[in-house]
Homo-oligomer: A and B are copies of this chain.
Amino acid sequence: MDTKKLNIAETLESIRLEKRLNKGDFADKCGISKSFYSEIINKKRNLNVTTLEQICSNIDVPIEIFILKAINEDKIEDPERRRLVREIRPHMKKITDLLYSFS
């Protein structure tokens, strides 16, 4: 098993910082309690897919963009796949920017 490829906690925190919100306000926006948010970012809680989907929906970030943002490229072992992920990222970035500008 190769896990920890997804930086869920770091990605949530980076979106929170982009939105310039404190943890309480961001947790509100996510639709979860501040203590649950803290557990997630301190990696004490394992999110289920439905909850992640709901959080993404609440913060207006498409889940596929969230996942792509959360991928830890350094943990991708296959060099060809690593190259592909690096190649597709700028395009996804453009889409993210476009999507963010809607909200």
Contact = CB atoms under 8 A, between A and B. Distances in A.
B53 A52 contact: no
A68 B64 contact: yes
A58 interface: yes
A77 to B, nearest CB: 10
Contacts of A98: 80, 84
A99 B85 contact: no
A15 interface: no
Contacts of A53: 3, 5-6
Given A49-B8, A102-B80, A31 B1 contact: yes
A2 to B, nearest CB: 5
Contact of A1 (B52, B58, B71, B81): B58
